[in-house]
Structure 1
Amino acid sequence: MDFMTILEIIISSSLVVAAPLIFTALGGVFSERSGVVNIGLEGLMVIGAFAAIVFNLTFASTFGAATPWVALIAAMAVGGLLSLLHALASITFRADQVVSGVAINFLALGAGLFLVKLIYGKGQTDIIRTEYSFKKVDIPFLSDIPVIGNLFFSRVTYTAYIAIILAFVVWYILYKTPFGLRLRSVGEHPMAADTMGINVTKMRYIGVFLSGLLGGLGGAVYAQSISLDFSHSTITGQGFMALAAMIFGKWNPLGAMGAALFFGFAQSLSIVGSSIPLFENVPSVYLQIAPYVLTILALAGFIGRADAPKALGNPYIKGSR
């Protein structure tokens, strides 16, 4: 296996694995830019993965080839609804935002496993059919470009490029639109935003709800492109890696995307490492822990230089200083 082939395998698998992290990290950016800590990204991915797989298995005969795409919408809806619980506790009732996020994580996993046991009579769902999953494909025309085509546009999923494009869209929304300015203002100085007529509660609800939509989307993409089923081990830390990517990226959509691509590369090694001559003699356990070790090292090296939104984690009480 030559060097270019190895590079093609690593890059294509990194893009596929990074896509769910990018979607979820972008959701975290919306929530935390509005001033609400969202530790519950893991739970949002879990419930999104559950919803997508169950929808896929149930309606595959109805929607045919469009099933995985329609399942994304279902997962986003379920993730959005779950995030509203976090918003209700954190914004309306001013509960501790970290505790609320942790509760979302436990609730999502517990509810998902309970419903799977109830519906399928076992601890995991059936595996979705390959034709109803997000398969690796060659991007038309772009994959024909010499060298670059094989490296970046061959054997990848469409969702990987949708995630990258969405990162630029979110960046534009946050930094170039009135909505983005209002969202960032309630995360930096909610009292000043309030005096300017911005509804702080409404904007924070929107931020958290968007995080639910994108977190559910991330879980659905992971389940339908990598795991192909749902069980207790479908989402194991990916939500926390997305949270780390958001922090590593300094709460900037493009920074979060770059960090997610880095973590996706690390995670892809644990999946394809055994098939690459360079890593074939490395014990598999080392490749499996590599993503989490690199996450810790990245945060340890950069977290001190990342400035969070100033009002992050602080409930806003109208009229208070």
Structure 2
Amino acid sequence: MNPELLIAFLASTAGAATPLIMASMGELVTERSGVLNLGIEGMMLVGAVVGFAVTLGTGQITLGLLAAMLAGLGMALIFAFLVLTLQTNQVATGLALTLFGIGLSAFLGRGLVGQTVDPLPHLHFPLLSDIPFVGPLLFRFDSMVYASLLLVAAIAWMLARSRLGLMIRAVGESPDSAHAIGFHVIGLRYGTVMFGGAMAGLGGAYLSLALTPMWVEGMTAGRGWIALAQVVFATWKPRGVMLGAYLFGGVTVLQFHGQGFGLAVPSEFLSMLPYLATIVVLVIICRNPQTILLNKPMSLGQNFRAD
């Protein structure tokens, strides 16, 4: 196999995995508190269009990323208000938020189609980036790729080692018991939902500012749903989310590198591989109820009202 082609494939996999990691890690924290947010796809789309619009208008990609996080956070606040304050059904509200996000992003992006911005620049580490084979694989990515790996490590530590993580897990397992010992269940869930929304917006912005530095309607192409599936695939563990993101990222970019690898497979089949892989993995995991229930928060999807 051509080493250059292999390097290009692995590097593309890291880029494709990054928005999935961002969105999935935000959803993982949200679900560990007992809230099921199916609006990730809509949040990613709104984050993508807002981040692109701000970057195009200001020329500052950092402002674009911050704006995308705020846009995702704003969408999350709508969801949180409906679900946590008004006690609406979490599944129905999340689906409605996705549909709202799809329509809102299309409306906001009407005048942006066809325009481009300079992509997020890649970092260069002296000496390290020039090491044959290893350099392009480890030391030539943009800052968001490295930030996504740090995010996984930080959330894994937070959930397992910190008092905040203990509170989040306690609320997710039994909100009534957590409330009884003095935890502010609704406030904590508001915080996790907002964090999940900000991460979804950031993941969406990575699509429009790094992977394909332009706005295309519906450019998430189902990544929000894959991010939701990854949380289940990972059995609510951060390292599993990272592994799943790289797996699905590799399957996603395979459609662009398949011919180079000599795969005589129709391009249409390669395009559907990420979604087929998602279904297959979930079927395999769900065959064993003990596996799927191993780390699932007991109150996931259940509303809580403090008396």
The TM tier, using the shorter chain, reads: over 0.9
Report the aligned-residue RMSD.
Answer: 1.7
Q: CA–CA distance in 2 between the matches of 1:48 and 1:141?
A: 36
Partners of 1:20 and 1:218 within 8 A in 2: yes
- C-alpha spacing 1:127/1:270, structure 2 compared with 1 (3 Å): farther
CA apart distance, 1:140: 4.0
CA apart distance, 1:226: 1.8
Equivalent residue letter for 1:100: T
CA apart distance, 1:212: 0.6
What does 1:77-156 correspond to in 2, within 5 Å?
77-117=70-110, 120=111, 124-129=112-117, 132-136=118-122, 138-154=124-140, 156=141
What does 1:199-238 correspond to in 2, within 5 Å?
199-238=184-223
- C-alpha spacing 1:53/1:28, structure 2 compared with 1 (3 Å): same
Equivalent residue letter for 2:223: Q
Q: 1:197 aligns with which of 161, 165, 182?
A: 182
1:277 aligns with 2:261: yes
Residue 74 of structure 1 corresponds to 67
Question: How many percent identity over aligned positions?
Answer: 31
Equivalent residue letter for 1:4: P
- C-alpha spacing 1:6/1:116, structure 2 compared with 1 (3 Å): closer
Question: Mind listing any 5+ residue stretches in structure 1 that lack a counterpart?
Answer: 61-66
Q: CA–CA distance in 2 between the matches of 1:88 and 1:271?
A: 41
CA apart distance, 1:135: 4.1
Q: What is the total number of aligned residue pairs between the two structures?
A: 302
Residues 213-252 of structure 1: CA deviation (Å, up to 9, x unaligned): 1000000011111222223231110111111111111111
CA apart distance, 1:200: 0.3
Q: CA–CA distance in 2 between the matches of 1:70 and 1:140?
A: 27
Residue 37 of structure 2 corresponds to 38
Equivalent residue letter for 2:220: I
Q: CA–CA distance in 2 between the matches of 1:136 and 1:291?
A: 26
Residue 12 of structure 2 corresponds to 13
Residues 279-317 of structure 1: CA deviation (Å, up to 9, x unaligned): 3x3211111111111111111111342222100011112
Q: CA–CA distance in 1 between the matches of 2:89 and 2:142?
A: 38
Partners of 1:26 and 1:256 within 8 A in 2: yes
What does 1:57-72 correspond to in 2, within 5 Å?
57-60=56-59, 67-72=60-65
Equivalent residue letter for 1:96: N
Residues 136-174 of structure 1: CA deviation (Å, up to 9, x unaligned): 5554443234543243334x3321121111110111111
- C-alpha spacing 1:158/1:273, structure 2 compared with 1 (3 Å): farther
Q: 1:183 aligns with which of 151, 168, 173?
A: 168
